[in-house]
Structure 1
Amino acid sequence: MSRNAEVAERLEEYADLLEAQDVGYKPTTYRRAASNVRDHPDAIEDLVADGQDAVEEIDGVGEAIASKIVEYVETGSIAELEDEREKLPVDMAALTRVEGVGPKTVGKLYDALGVQDLDDLQEAAENGEIREVEGFGAKTEENIRDHIAFARQAGERDLLGDGRPVADDIVAFLEGLSDVERAEAAGSTRRWRETIGDIDVLAASDAGEDVGEALTEWARADETIEVGPTKTSVRSDGLRVDLRVVTPSEFGAALQYFTGSKDHNITLRNHAIGQGKKVNEYGVFDISDIDDPDSGQRVGDLLASETEEGVYDALGCAWIPPELREDRGEVAAAANDDLPDLVTESGVRGDLHTHTDWSDGANTIEEMLAAAEERGYDYYAITDHGEGPGVFGDSGLSGSDLREQMDEIDGVRDDYDLTVLHGVEANVDADGNVVDVPDDVLAELDIVVASPHSGLGDDGGDRTDRLVAAVAHEHVDVLGHPSGRLINDRPAMEYDAERLGEAAAAAGTALEVNANYHRLDLPGSAVKTAIDAGATVVVNTDAHSPSELDQLAYGVHTARRGWAEPADVLNTWTTEDVLEFLE
C-alpha cells in the first residue's frame, strides 16, 4: 500500500490551517496538489526515491509543495506544517466534522474564544458565547451545538475505505510468511460495514509468537501496542490492528466468530442450542449427551472447526456471505436454503455516474473513457454537474455547455469499444424540482442523474416528499446519493426509505448506491428496503478521476449488505436492457 493518501492528508491539513488564518490562494493550491497526489498511480515514496524532480511531475505539484512531500516521506514531518500547528493549536479534523464549521470558522472561534477542541466548542455553544462573535448569531450557535454529538460519534470510527486497504495489505504480508497457512480480515472490515473500529485480522499458524513478532517488524507498523503468542496489536496509518493467531484446525470457527456481528453470532448460537449443539470460536460441538456443556469451551463431540463452510453446514445452514451477517433474517434464510444470490464485482458491466474536467473532475473525456474501456465495461456514462447550489466552485455546466459537450462526445464515441452515454448530474432543490438544466436539454440526454446537493436537512426535518418528487420527474433516470450524507462528516437527510422505494419502482427510476466510500449512499439497510419495495438500484462510483473507478468494490459490497441480486442492480444488465430502462 502506497503512502499517497497519508501525504495527501498532511497537505490538506496544511491547507486547512492556512485557510483558517485567511491566507489567500494557497489553500486551494495545496488541496489540488493533495487530490492529485492521492490519485497518482505511482507510490509517492517511489517518486521521492527517484528525486524531487519526479515528484514535481505530478500535476499541480510545484517546487515548494514537492519539497514538503520529500521532507515528509524522508523525515515523517513537515517543518512548516509544525509551525502552522503551533500558530493555531486546534484539533482541526474534529472541529470541522461539526456541520457548518469550516477552517475559517475554526480560526475565528480560536481567535475570539480560544476554542481548540470539541469540548471547548461545546462549552462555548452552551454558554451562549458563539453568538457574541462577529459574523455569528443565535441560529449558527444552535446549529453548531446540535451537531457536536454527531461529530463526537463520527470520530470514534474510521471509514471503511481508509481501513480496508490497510487490512488487505496486512493479509498479503501475513500470507507471505512461511509460518502462516491462511490469513483473513475479520470483524466489520470483512463485513464491509461503512465504518470500522479496530482492524481485526486472523492468521492460521502453529508459530503464533513468531507471527506476532513478524507483524511488529512489518514496514508499515508504526507502533507496537502488545505482542504475544495468540494476540498482537500494532498501529498502522493511525489505525489499530489486532492480529489473532489460531491453530489451523480451528481457523474456520475462529473466522466465523471474529467476523461477527455480535447479533448474528447470538442468533447462530441460539440456532445451535435448538439442535443440541453449541458453536463458539473453537468449533461446533454436539452437546446433546453432555451433562454440563458449560464446563469447557471444547466440551462435546467436535462436528466442525476447520472451515467456515463446515461450521455453517454442521448447523444445517448454507454458508452466509459476511456482508449479510447483521441479524436481519440471514440465519433463517440459510437454514431454509433461501439466501440471495448476491451481486458480484465481476457482474457489473458499466458505470452510469462519472465526471470529467468539464465540471469538477480531474481528467478529460478521453482519459475517463480509456479507463472505462480498460476495465472491460460494456457501457459508460459521463454525467458532469449541472449548474446550481452545492456544486464545487463554479464548475457546473449550463444548457449550452452540455450541448457543446454533447458534440464532443459524439465525436469520440466510435473510438471506444463500449457504449458511451452522455448525461448530467442535475440538482434537486428543496421541493424536489430538477433545477438549473433546461427541460429540453434533459430530454436530449441519454441519462439524467438527479442528486440533492444543498438544503440537506440541517433542521432534522423529513425530506421524503422532496425525494419522491425527484424520482417522479419525467426525465430523471437515477436518484443520486439520495440521503446526501458524507460518512463521519455530514449526517443523512431524514426520509422514509420504504416510501421512496415504492415511488422509485412506480416511476421506473433507479436509486443509486454511490460507491464513493465517503458516501455509500444508499446504505445497505436502505438498499434492502428499496429492493423489497420493488425498486431497481444502480451501483455508481461518482468517479472524478480514473483511480476513483476502483471504488466500485465499496458500492457492490454495500449493495450485497442490502441483499441485492444481479436482477436488482441496473448496471449488471446488458446494454440493450439498460438502454430500454433509460428510455
Structure 2
Amino acid sequence: MVTNAELAGRFEEFADLLEADEVEYKPRAYRRAAENVRAFPVPIADRVEAGDEDVLQEIDGVGDAIAGKIVEYVETGEIEELEALKEELPIDIADLTRIEGVGPKTAGKLYRELGIETLDDLEEAAEAGEIQEVKGFGPKTEENIRENLEFARQVGQRQLLGEGRPLADDVLAFLESLDAVERVEVAGSIRRWRETIGDVDVLAGTEAGEDVVEAFVDWESVDAEIESGPSKASVRVGEIRVDLRVVVPGEFGAALQYFTGSKDHNVRLRNYAIDREMKLNEYGAFDVSDVEDHESDQRVGERVAGETEAGMYEALGLPWIPPELREDRGEIDAAEAGELPDLLTREDVRGDLHTHTEWSDGNTSIEPMVDAAEALGYDYYAVADHAEGPGIVGGVGLSEDELLEQAERIREIDANREITVLAGVEANVDAEGEIGLSADVIDALDVIVASPHSALSQDAETATERLVRAVENPAVDVLGHPSGRLLNERSGLDFDVTRLARAAADSGTALEVNSDPRRLDLWGSAVQATLEEGATIAIDTDAHQPATLEFVRWGIHTARRGWAEPADVINCWDLEDLQAFLH
C-alpha cells in the first residue's frame, strides 16, 4: 500500500537531491507538494488505483508534472526522473542530512569534492581530517559531524509517530472488520504515543488465532510478509513493519498491559506485585501467596485478573494508568497515592495560537484557515506568520510594515466571525535571545510566539541562557518549539529544561508543545519538568494549511505524556483568561 507519507517522502527526496545538485526554484515546489500530499485527508494512492486521478487536482501545489509522477509511482513503484537523479547523485541524502549542519547543498558538495555517498564515507573522511580541507568547512564543522554521526544512525531506524499511527488506525479498522476478532488494540510505543516508533504493534483477542493471522497476512494493504506463525505475524506495509499477536479473549487485558510497556514501567509494576505476593505476566495477575515455586509456571497460582487491562491494575489496588504515563516517571507512586493527573483531552482544546498563511510560508490565505478552525469548534484562532530574521529560509518572513498590514486585515476578518481571530507573529529568537520586534508591532499584535530557527548547535549553557532571555522578554507570550529539533533530521538545542521552565513560570510565558509530527517539541518528559516548576504550556499545530490543524492530535498526546491537565494549557482556557495571560 502506497501511503501519503511514502509519496511525500519521495518528493522530499526529489527536493533534497535537486538542491544538492544546485538546481534553483524546483526544490521549493517539490517541498510544498510533499507537505500537501502528506496532509491530504484521504489515501491518494487508493483513489488513483480506483481510476480517480481527478483527486490530484484537489491537492494544492500539485500541477500536471507532479501529478504525473504520483500516478507513475503508484503504478510502478518508482519515478523514472528521480531514479535518474539518484544515479547522477548516488548519495544517501536522507542519512547525510540528519547530521546537524549538513543540508542537501552541503551533501552535494561533499560528494563532488570527496566522493562521500553514505554515513560510513562521511565518518571515514571526518576521521581522516579531509572535511576541514574542503572550502567553506573547517575543524569545527568536522568535529560537529563526528559528534552527530551516532544520532543520525539511531534515528534512521525509527518512524515518526505521525506516520505510524495513521497506519495503525488502518490496521485496527481492518482487524475490527473480521468477525473472528473480539477485541483489538495497538500496543507498544505507539500506544504510549512516543514521538518515534520502531514498528506498529497490534494485539487481537480471538478464539480463531490462525484464521486471523492468515487474514492479516492476506490483507490487500500488505506489501510483503516477513514471517508468520499460529499466534503472530509480521508484515511490511509501505515502509513500516507491522507486528500482530493474537491471544485468547480471556487473556487480552493481561497481554495488552504487558505488550504496551514500557519495559521500565512493567518491571516496576511487577516488583510492586511481588511485594504483595502477586505475579503479573502476559497471561494474567496471579495470587501466589500460597505457592512456594511460582517461577516454574507462568500461570501458577490463583488467577485474579487478565480479561481487562484495568483489572490488572485493580488486582494490585491501583487505578488504571493511562498508557502515555507508563514510562516509570513516578506514575505508580502517584496511582498508589490517588494522585494521577486528570489528563487533558481533545475536547479541552479551545484554540490554536501558532499557525501560518500564505503571507509567509503557509499554503493558503487567512480565511480558509479560519474556516477550518471554526469547523473544529474552536473559540479562538491566531495567525502567527513568520517575521523576518535568522533561520527563515527563502525570504518568507514579513517586514514590520507587512505585519502591521496583516494585523489590520485580521481585524477586518475578526469583525465578521463568531470565532475570535487573533493577530500574532512567530518572531525569531536569535543567537543571543533577542526577538527583533519594535514596540509598534508588539503593541499592534495579540499574541507573540518566539521561536529559535538558527544557531541550533549551541552548547547547553549558551542555549539555556538564550532561551531564558527570550522567555523573560515581556513581549513574548509563547516560546515556540524550544529546541528547534526536527525528528529524524536534527537534534536541535540542548538546554536545561528545569531552569527554562522556572524562568517561564516567573515571567508568565508559556512553553510550546509544537504538534507538528516532525517536531513534537517540547516532548513528554520536558513537559512534565515544565509543569513541576509551575509553568504553563501551549499546544499549537504550526499548521501551514487547513488540514494540518488536525496535528493537534499529536500535541495533545505528547502533553499527556508530560502529565498535562487542562489547567496547565493556556489554549484550553476560555478567551477572557487567555487574553489576561497574553502580553
TM-score, length-scaled by structure 2: 0.97
The alpha carbon displacement at 1:167 in A equals 1.1
SS of aligned partner of 1:415:
coil
Tell me the equivalent position of 2:475. 475
* Unpaired segments ≥5 residues, structure 2: none
State the AA in 1 paired with 2:472.
Answer: A
Q: Deviations over 1:177-220 (max 9, x none)?
A: 11101111100000011111121110001111111111112222
SS in 1 for 2:395: coil
State the match for 1:62 in structure 2: 63
Match of 2:372 in 1: 371
C-alpha distance 200-446 of structure 1, shift in aligned 2 (>3 A): same
Distance 2:56 2:548 in 1: 21
Change (3 A) 1:303 1:552: same
Q: Which moved more, 1:376-385 or 1:59-68?
A: 59-68
Q: Deviations over 1:29-76 (max 9, x none)?
A: 222222232233443225534455552453332322222111111121
Three-state SS of the structure 1 residue aligned to 2:259 is: helix
List aligned pairs for 1:211-250, cutoff 5 A.
211-250=212-251
Distance 1:51 1:225, change over 3 A: same
2-side partners of 1:415 and 1:229: how far apart? 62
The 1-side partners of 2:61 and 2:161 are apart by 28
The CA distance in 1 between the partners of 2:177 and 2:351, in whole Å, is 34
Q: Conserved in 2, the CA contact under 8 Å of 1:513 and 1:522?
A: yes
**1:15 positional shift:** 2.1
TM-superposed CA distance for 1:328, in Å, is: 0.9
Paired with 2:52 and 2:280, the residues of 1 have a C-alpha distance of 56
Residue equivalent to 2:149: 148
Aligned position for 1:535: 535
Determine the C-alpha separation between the residues in 2 that align with 1:430 and 1:133: 26
Alignment of 1:385-424 (within 5 A): 385-424=386-425
| Aligned positions of 1:478-493 closer than 5 A | 478-493=478-493
Report the AA paired with residue 186 of structure 2: A
Aligned residue in 2 for 1:547: 547
Instruction: Name the residue aligned to 1:290.
Output: 291
Match of 1:19 in 2: 19
Shift of 1:427: 1.0
- Structure 2 counterparts to residues 437-476 of structure 1, below 5 A: 437-459=437-459, 461-476=461-476
* Counterparts in 2 of 1:53 and 1:273: CA distance versus 1, 3 Å: closer
Kept in 2: contact 1:160–1:517 (CA 8 A): yes
SS of corresponding position for 1:406: helix
Letter in 2 for 1:354: T
Instruction: State the shift of 1:26 in Å.
Output: 2.4
Q: Which moved more, 1:533-542 or 1:489-498?
A: 489-498
Q: Does the 8 Å CA contact 1:174/1:183 hold for their aligned counterparts? A: yes
AA in 1 matched with 2:354: H
Contact 2:459 2:494 in 1 (8 A): no
SS in 2 for 1:298: coil
Residue number in structure 2 paired with 1:29: 29
Moved over 6 A (4+): none
Q: Aligned ranges for residues 118-267 of structure 1 at < 5 Å?
A: 118-267=119-268
Superposed displacement of residue 142, structure 1 = 2.2
Q: After superposition, where does 1:287-326 map in structure 2 within 5 Å?
A: 287-326=288-327
Unaligned runs of 5+ in 1: none
Cα offset for 1:9? 1.3
CA–CA separation in structure 2 for the residues paired with 1:388 and 1:50: 46
Amino acid at match of 2:316: L
* Separation (CA, whole Å) in 1 of partners of 2:33 and 2:506: 45
Deviation at residue 105 of structure 1 after TM alignment: 2.0
Per the alignment, in what secondary structure is the counterpart of residue 393 of structure 1? helix
Alpha-carbon distance in structure 2 between the residues aligned to 1:337 and 1:166:
35
* Change in CA separation of 1:458 and 1:144 when aligned onto 2, cut-off 3 Å: farther
The Cα RMSD (Å) is 1.6
Percent identity, aligned pairs only?
Answer: 62
SS at 1:272's partner residue? helix
Provide the rounded CA distance (Å) in 2 between the counterparts of 1:52 and 1:181. Answer: 37
The CA distance in 2 between the partners of 1:339 and 1:62, in whole Å, is 51
Question: Which secondary structure state, in structure 2, belongs to the residue aligned with residue 434 of structure 1?
Answer: coil
Q: Shift of residue 290 of structure 1?
A: 0.5
Code of the aligned partner of 1:26: K
In structure 2, the residue matched to 1:116 is: 117
User: Are the aligned partners of 1:208 and 1:228 in contact in 2 as well (CA < 8 Å)?
Assistant: no
- TM-score, normalised to structure 1's length? 0.97
User: Within 2, Cα distance between the matches of 1:229 and 1:465?
Assistant: 57
> C-alpha separation between the residues in 2 aligned to 1:170 and 1:497?
37
* CA drift at 1:80: 1.7
Letter in structure 2 aligned against 1:234: V
SS of match in other structure, 2:354: coil
3-state DSSP class of the match of 1:232?
Answer: strand
